[in-house]
Amino acid sequence: MGEMKKQKRKMPQTRMLAIGFAAMILIGAVLLMLPVSYRGEGHVSFLDALFTSTSASCVTGLVVADTYQNWTLFGQLVILCLIQVGGLGFITIGVYIAVLFKKRSD
């Protein structure tokens, strides 16, 4: 009996990027659902937090409710971080593709 070698399966970069992006959105939504994040009475619904997190990380700027009136300083900082990471990720990927095409054209 020969030894069977286990082959490591490497996750494609596109799948890893998509999973990372989805994880960032979900973590942002969970942070926005915390009582320390919401200024209004009661709590924020999961869909509102998910929409706000997705909109912030995709840098679209759509909101369900006014950011200043409904989110505490902590919630505003979470939204700001999502905007920064989403914008920086988009720029980083764009620069990577530009560099990749430049190398191919040489």
Every domain of the chain and the residues it spans: 14-105
Task: Report the C-alpha gap between 32 and 49 in whole angstroms.
Answer: 6
User: Torsions phi, psi of 71, nearest 5?
Assistant: -115, 140
User: In terms of CATH architecture, what is 14-105?
Assistant: Orthogonal Bundle (1.10)
Query: Can you give the pLDDT of all 106 residues of the chain as single tens digits?
Result: 545 556 667 777 678 778 888 999 999 999 999 999 999 888 899 999 999 999 999 888 888 888 899 999 999 999 999 998 888 776 787 777 778 887 665 5
